[in-house]
Amino acid sequence: MSEVWDKKDYVDRYNDIYAPGEKELLAAADLLELNADDDLADLGCGKGDFIASALRLVRSVVGVDSSPHQIDEARRRFKAEPHVEILESSFQDFDPKGRSFTKVYTRDALHHISDADKAVFLKKVSSAMKPGGLFLLEDAIFDFPAADLDANWDALMAEAEKYYGEAWRTRKKEVTGYIRNEFPTGLPEIKKMAEAAGFKVLKTSRDCMFFHSLLLEKK
């Protein structure tokens, strides 16, 4: 994952601009059907916005993030919540260590790691989930195979301009940078990875041609 996540200024800017709103977080909680018997993992939890939306709905929460600044803020935020645990770890180094989860959430984080690392990570998550558990994965996922990015570039840029509206001018450099230089995955590839890891794809939702949500069920 990029070293920019070690920089507080970058993390603060990301939280101000890209953090999901309350409506998105509540919609995610609804899709996961969170309830009082759930043990939830939020992978790439950031400063804990989804945890804050979910913690009264579930039995326990484990939040995982690789940014020390995000971790510090999340730990301060939930220090009075005994059923919330915050762990500092990259996705590559993530180890459930015997923990078992009924629900898992990750948003806008998996594109930081390669497809090979995604495949390993998804298997780790699957191994820590109970059959029938739900995993909501929201990320930079293309409509098309990632190898076809160049062929779809003009259409993607046109859709991005429409998607971001007035904010596109200030976000274009950053958004095109992560699309080109990080590891967004094609929808066909991520579905194959999920199925190979032991998940069934229940639902696919499309925000735009470069951002999708997958609701997965542990087999």
pLDDT in tens, 115-134: 999 999 999 999 999 999 99
The CATH number of the domain holding residue 209 is 3.40.50.150
Q: Answer yes or no: is pLDDT of 189 > 70.
A: yes
- Cross-sheet strand order for the sheet of 199-208: 84-88, 60-65, 39-43, 101-107, 129-139, 211-218, 199-208
Domain that holds residue 54: 3-218
Q: What pLDDT shows up at residue 21?
A: 76
Domain count, the chain: 1
Confidence of residue 13 (pLDDT cuts 50, 70, 90): low
Q: Does the global pTM surpass 0.85?
A: yes
Sign of CA dihedral 70, 72, 77, 82: positive
CA distances (Å), origin 153, targets 67, 69, 182, 191, 213 = 31, 34, 15, 22, 21
Mean pLDDT value across residues 20-29: 87
